[in-house]
Amino acid sequence: MGGKKTVQGEVEHTNINVKKLDETVAFLTTALPHFQVRHRGLDPQGVPWLHIGTEKTYIALNQPAREIGDELPRFNHIGFVVEDAEAVKSRCLEAGYEEGFVTPPNPYRKRVYILDNEGLEWEFVEYLSDDAAKRNDYSDA
């Protein structure tokens, strides 16, 4: 494993709902020309999403079919890089917090989602490689 080490506990991404993906991409790439769309996909319910940013940090955007407002929040979660995702999960579950979204296995990262007492979901990701191309692999998307 080569390359620069990630600082543990740094905010890696935020995940939000938007009304129109391409309009948000146009805004972000105007404001931040170095941002690029890293990947586009559909979630299991068919909701289009994309990641936009750099190799190291990004914003996850979702374009749900339902109206954003009281029914559907704008904010979904913030992702933190951690040294040991399973340890975070164990500590949180032992403290009475609940596990959130469960992701399929990926050879380059482990992700854990935990719900806090207010029902907010927090993501904790442990990278198993320092290679940016492997860390940003979307084969499990």
Q: Is residue 5 part of a domain?
A: no
pLDDT tens digits for range 81-123: 999 999 999 999 999 999 998 989 999 999 999 988 878 889 9
Q: Is residue 33 part of a domain?
A: yes
Which pTM value belongs to this model? 0.75
Q: Is residue 122 part of a domain?
A: yes
Range of the domain at 68: 11-135
Q: For residue 8, give the nearest of 109, 81, 57 by alpha carbon.
A: 81
pLDDT tens digits for range 51-88: 999 998 999 999 988 776 667 778 888 999 999 999 99
Long-range contacts of the stretch 119-122 (C-beta < 8 A, 24+): 120/77, 121/76, 121/77, 122/77, 122/78, 122/80
* CATH code for the domain of 54: 3.10.180.10
- Please count the structural domains in the chain: 1
